[in-house]
Each structure stands twice: as C-alpha cells, then as structure tokens.
Amino acid sequence: MAQYIEIKTANPDSLLFYRMGDFYELFFADAEAASRTLGIVLTKRGKHQGADIPMCGVPVERAEEYLHKLIAAGHRVAVCEQLEDPAEARKRGSKSVVRRDVTRLVTPGTLTEDSLLDARRENVLASLARAKSGEDGAGDGYAYALAFCDISTGTFRVSETDPARLAADLARIEPAELLVPDAIYDEPAFRELWRTLPAVTPLPKESFDGATAERRIAGFFQVATLDAFGAFSRPELAAAGAIVAYVERTQLGNRPPLAPPVRESGGAAMVIDPATRANLEILRTTSGERAGSLLAAVDRTVTSAGARLLARRLAEPLTAPAAIAGRLDSVEHLADRPALRDALRERLAGAPDLARALARIALNRSGPRDLAAIGRGLMEGAAIAAMIAAEGAPEELMEAARDLAAPPPALPATLLAALADELPPYRRDGGFVRAGFDADLDATRALRDESRRVVAALERRYVEESGIRTLKIRHNAVLGYFVEVSAQHADKLREPPFASVFVHRQTMAGAVRFSSVELGELEAKIASAGERALALEQTIFDRLASEVLAGADHVRACAAALAVIDVASGLARLAVEENHVRPEVDDGLDFSILGGRHPVVEQALRRDPLASGGPFIANDCDLSPPARAKAGRIWLVTGPNMAGKSTFLRQNALIAILAQAGCFVPAASARIGIVDRLFSRVGAADDLARGRSTFMVEMVETAAILNQATRRSLVILDEIGRGTATFDGLSIAWASLEHLHETNACRGLFATHFHELTALAQRLKRLVNATVKVKEWDGEVIFLHEVVPGAADRSYGIQVAKLAGLPAAVVERARAVLTELESADRAAPTQRILDDLPLFASLNRAPPAAPAASADPVAEAVKAALTGIDPDELTPREALEALYRLKGLAKGGEGRAGPCHLLT
C-alpha cells in the first residue's frame, strides 16, 4: 500500500490501474469511482488509518474493455505495470515488493488500441494556444491557433483560428480531447464552448510556452530546425508544442509515428458552424447515430482508412476549384472504368489498416498480427499501384500509385517470409515465426516439441504401470507438471510400490495431484527449451519491428495513398449506383441545381417504397444572380407541413457540401459557385442546460447567420419566428429576410408559413417566391412534393393535424375557428407595411416622425364603450351583450383606414 500511495500521489488526476498478478486493482476513491462506472463489485482489503480500504479490480485480459468504459465516462487512467518478475523481487528478501511504475497514461485523445477506437472514425487530440498579436507579441489583441493530431494514424496539422470561428473549427475536427491553457480554460467567454466538447484538459501555461515550443518540436522529430516543415506563427508553434509535450508525457518515452506538422491555409475549407452540422446531420444524426447521416448514405469505402478520409472530406469541403476538380477527375475516371474500379475495390478489401498498425508498433503495443498487416498492406499496395499505372489516371490517383510503388520493396517480403500463416494476438504467446525462417529457433522448437512427446510417452507408461486408465499428466503455472488422478484412485498411488515414486502435492474436489522426480527433471528440460524458443521469437519480433519503423515514412505514405484510392473508387461506385453526376464548381456565384435529390431520403424511400408513398421527387433550385446582379437569389419557399420544404432546403445544402468535398452529386446537373460558409437554421430544440428556450436557441442561431454570412455564403432558414407570438415572429422573419437580401446579399433558401412575407418579392428584386404543390381531393390533401414558382395561400395545418390523429371533434372545431379567422382581410396590414415602411437597408437613418392621428368618430365611440366595461365584473350574458354592441359600433367604420378597420 505504501508503494501504491506513492505512485498514486504522482498521478492524482487519473484512476490508477495497479497491476497485481493477473488483475489491475484500484483502491480508495479510485475503486469507488471505477465500481460505479463499470458496475463491478466494490470490496475491501486491509485498513488504512483505522478505516477499511475500498478495492475493486479487473482482469488484465479484459482490461481494454474496461478502459473503454472508463474513458467514455470521462476518466483518465494511469496504467501501473510490474516491471520485474516476482522471483527477482524475492531475491532482495522474502517481503520485498515487486517493482512497479506507470507505463502509460490513457486519455481520450491518446488511444491506439483497435478495441478502444472506432475503426472508421479519427481520434483527434487537439490543443488551443494564443499569443499577443503584432511584432514580437507587442500587439494589443491575441492571435489564436489550433494544433490537432491523431496518434493512432500519425496525422498532424496546425491552423490559425479566432474566437468567432473557434466553435466551427472544433466542430470540423471533432477532437476527442482538447488541451487548453489554464488561463483560457477559466475565461467566462469560453465556458459554454467547453461544455459542448467530450473532454477538455487544462494545462499550465508552461506547456504552451512559445519560446521553447520550436526546440521541443524539433527534438521530437529529431531535426535541427523546423524550416523544412514550413513557416509557423507563434501561437501555431505553441499549440503544436503543447501536443508534442502531452504525447511524450502520456506515452512515457514511446514515440508515436507522427508526421511533421502541416499548416492549413486560412479559408481552405468551407466554414460550417456546429448548429449547421447538427441540423444537416453530416456525419451523425441529431441522436448521435451514424446510420441516417449523409456520411452513411454516401460511404462505399471498403477500408477503415478510406472511411476516415471520406468523413474528413465531408467535414471540411474545399474552397479551391482546382483542388475540387482534381478529386472529381479521380471519381470520373473510375466511374467510367467499371472493370478497373471493381478490381481495385477487391484488392482494397484485403488491405489492412496500415496507419494504426504502425502506431501500435511504434508504441510497443503491437502483436504479430500488426507486423503481418504491414507486410500484407504493402504487398496489396504494390499490386494496386501497378493496376493504376497500367491504364493511366488523373494526377491524384497517379500520385497515390507513386507512393505505393516507392521503396523499400524488401520489407513486405521479409515480413511475410518471417511470419506464420496463423498468428496469435499477442507476442507473448509465441508460435508466430514461420518454420524455416531462423535455424536456431527451429532447433530449439524441435527440442521443445520432442520433450512434449516424451511427456505423452511418460503418461502412457504411468497408466500401464499403475493400471489407472484416467491418470493424466497436466500443467499449470503454479505446480508445473503434475500427475492427476480421481479421488477414488489416489490411495493406490500412496501405497507401495508407487509411494516411493509419487509425492502428494494437492487435493482437489474429486481429484488428487502428485509429482515425481522423473517428471520434475523432464519439466526443467521442457521449460528451458520453451523459454529459449520464446526468447528467440521475441528477438525476431523486435528486429522486424525495427525494420518497419525504419520505413515508417513509406508505410505512412502508403496508408494515405490507399485511403485516397478507396475514397475515389467508393464515390465512383456511388455515382454509378445512385445516378449521381459531376458538378461544375467555379469561383462564381452561381447555384443552379436541376433535378436535385436528397441523398439520404432518396435511399430511405428506395428501401421502403410502400411505407413512404412512392419514389423521391426531384426538384430544381436556381439561386444564381439575375442578369447584371452581383449577388445571388433568395428563394422564399411556402407550402404546407409534410410537403417537403425542409427536405428541399437540406438537399441543396448537402449538394453543396458533396460538390466541394469532391463527390458527384444527386442531381441531373449542378453548377455551383464556391460557398465559403454554410449556414442552416432548421428544426426546433431547447438548451435547458444553458437556460435557453427553443425560441432563444432559434434566435441565437439566426443572429449568428445574420452577423456572419457573406456574399459567397449559402443560407438555409426554416420557420424563423414561429417560436413566439404571431406578429412578433412575423416581424422578426420579415426583418431577417430583408437583412439577408440587402446586407448579407447571400444565396439562400427561406421556408416559412408566414404567407405575408411573399409580398416582399414586390420590392426585393432578388427574392423569388416558390411553393410546394399539393392537391385537394374529397376533403383530403395530397402532397406532391414538387417545388414550383409561386406562393401558397394556406398551410393545410388542419389536414396534417388530422393525419396525426387528433380527435375528430378537435379537427372540426379547428376548421370552424380557421374559417372565422380567415374571414378578415389579412392582406391590408402587409400591404400597408410595403407601402409605408422604409426598406431594411434604409432603417439606419432616423425613423420618420409618426403621422398625427386623425380623429375618427367611430373609433372614439368604440374607445368610450370599452372604457366603460370592467371585464372582471361582467356575467357571461353581459359580456355577450357588450360584444354585440362593439360589433355594431365597428360596422359603422367599415371601409375606413385606422383602428376600426383593424378591429373588424
């Protein structure tokens, strides 16, 4: 316990997995926390300061399973191993404690084991740093930077950021763990952002010291200077240095095969804020599931690395037309060559995850199967390179082929010659080196295997001499080799002549165990041969691992190349299967989609056409600038619920993402000018943890759009203002639409049930009314899901309510109320706003003086009548009579402008 407390004191922020034989034990508060999280029994062991010591434990063989649960629950774990054999400890004295120490700190961002990771998803460790802006940090403001790596694959990137864009950047890279300086962690401005991340680890400012960061990074990559890696700003160096220091601290001397840091240029990727990513369900649905997302709909990759690369491309679509065209060329090349595409995919299906196998080898967490994966992957890569080079290909594919064909060619041949066909999961199991690869090992194995045959022969002789047919020679780690017989035969071995041969060792329930001098001597020979054979295999393993690490750069390049080819071939197959087309992407402001379809919904309808009511209906969308205009159009989409407005909005946003990610798109044709930022405000949800109502969340997201959208942005807005009172919501929607048109001047889709907004098309020249067609038949409404020019005059909400199963009496009462409400002239207030209220852009000027109210005798009479009424004192009959009197007075004012008209 003294040893445990000493090691725990050095790792206070982690649960300590303390190795004791075949178990990792936890004590004190660690045991209580682990017991709750893992659902395992909490027991006790001894006392400390007069109190029982809580304890729980997990088997070493199942440790990864329990580690996964603890990390997912937000814990960090320090793994404390036995660093010597117990026999060595006993040499120092019978009560000497086995030497132990922490060999690894397990955190969410530093996982490498396959069992702890999602094979088709990156596991990113990120860090945020800032430094004074200006020359030598003398500026008044701060410059921010992010560094992020995946130690399980070796990727390492840095980029500049700022507080306004930080949430979008973090949503793009999805860090499993974010490192931040203490000072930033404690700032109120960032607290809400930290709550949205799975794990945030504050570190002292020394970890982000920009003065020592360059030296720390150069030391990690064993170079004299970082000049060969490119130019980095001070905050970028500080962020990258913090990553390197944290990796060295958690891996305790083991160096993962990180690639040198690559600097991302600003504006290279479409900016998508967290709310938009959630609304569009790009990588996951709003419930956190992969199924039902855009990624799941378009993923046809056959390798884990390809799946990770596709997810990254969808998360960060490009903004450079030339780079996008390069990706599209690869997809088109393979879409037009089905034989080559299918042959590549068949080869790729047999390619293992090279990057993650390499990381485990570098961190000494690998087994024979990782070495075999490297060898097999490199062999498959060489074959794939030859297939691509034979037919010629676009530059992206040819570059991948060159990486796959680069030296060292001898490494895969060596690995495959050294390793057996059937491999154990762990190197400690032995038996993984192929017979004939090493002469010394073969000779030692022969001795070991011959000894085993001698044991079998000795067992047969003991059976014959004793006449006990059930006698067996067995082995375990405690007793070594022993003779085991059933309890009913044990007395026979205790009597002459066998008493002088067999020595009683252990009595079990139903069995008795004995040893013999002859068996002990044989065991020593077998142990010696087996231990030597295992030692030779370990030496061979280390030599092969060193050869792999010597070619780590080539292995890493091959892993990236295989992922590129997998993504291209998968997208090509998707294009052929789903009838996707190549989009035209340029620097303009066009956005013209003919026959656009929602990739997720279309596939869902095809899987279950009867339940859905038919195939997906394609629709056009043209947000391109009108003639001689310098900004794109905004479509105002009206129509009933359930008609498909939200689907139409989302599908066009998803088509933009797919096009700029380098994918073919679900449409008859598509011409898209680069979208720099994508904004989506779709759906309704509250945020109770931060004290925000549904409407408040809606307004916060809308504010972000109106404050940040540019001329090149694409904005989709659905039902702005519906979370508050009717006229409040109408006013907000009206003003927001004007602002998007006049100030943001962006391309947009604006869906609404405020039909009054359609009148804005009279004065906003780039605003286009569109509606979703419906058909009424025998009192029922049929949704045609077709978007056409024009405006809806009703929302068919009552018909939808009927479909939802509202009681018939409620539906009929609603119809009656709606008829009464619609009897009023609802167009007059809207028209008066159009006629009298200045356009949004001119509201920055001082508002005009309100016109003097003209006297209206009927209005005065109504006012007087209302003044004389006390609602709290009226009986129901008196209230009805008063209402009739007011109605009579109001009729005298019909046709006039003013309050009486509004009252009517």
d(CA 568, CA 335): 9
What is the topology classification, in CATH, of domain 119-266? Nucleotidyltransferase; domain 5 (3.30.420)
d(CA 755, CA 751): 10
d(CA 664, CA 659): 6
Domain ranges (residues) in the chain: 2-106, 119-266, 299-358+369-408+551-578, 439-543, 584-823, 857-903
- Token pair recorded at residue 565: 């080819």
H or E element in which residue 515 lies: strand 511-516
Q: Is 639 annotated as a binding residue?
A: yes
Q: Residue ranges of the chain with pLDDT lower than 50?
A: 136, 138, 686-689, 844-848, 850, 853, 894-904
Pick among 3.40.190.10, 1.10.1420.10, 3.40.50.1820, 3.40.50.300: CATH of 299-358+369-408+551-578: 1.10.1420.10
Q: Is 729 annotated as a binding residue?
A: no
Q: What is the largest CA-CA distance in the chain?
A: 134
Q: Is 609 annotated as a binding residue?
A: no
Residue 898: per-residue pLDDT? 41
Architecture of the domain defined by 439-543: Orthogonal Bundle (1.10)
| Three-class SS state of 443 | helix
Asked if 439-543 and 584-823 have one fold, the answer is no
DSSP string, 11-47: -TTSEEEEEETTEEEEEHHHHHHHHHHHT---EEEEE
CATH number of 584-823: 3.40.50.300
Q: Is 230 annotated as a binding residue?
A: no
Residue 313: per-residue pLDDT? 97
DSSP string, 449-502: HHHHHHHHHHHHHHHHHH--TT-EEEEETTTEEEEEEEHHHHHHHHSTTGGGTE
Q: Is 669 annotated as a binding residue?
A: no
Residue 836: per-residue pLDDT? 62
Q: Is 644 annotated as a binding residue?
A: yes
Angle between helix 410-418 and helix 517-550 axes, rounded to 10 deg = 170
Residue 688: per-residue pLDDT? 47
User: Are the C-beta atoms of 238 and 204 separated by less than 8 Å?
Assistant: no
CATH number of 2-106: 3.40.1170.10
Q: Is 643 annotated as a binding residue?
A: yes
Residue 859: per-residue pLDDT? 72
User: Are the C-beta atoms of 751 and 635 separated by less than 8 Å?
Assistant: no
Q: CB-hemisphere CA count at 13 Å for 131? A: 21
User: Are the C-beta atoms of 120 and 312 separated by less than 8 Å?
Assistant: no
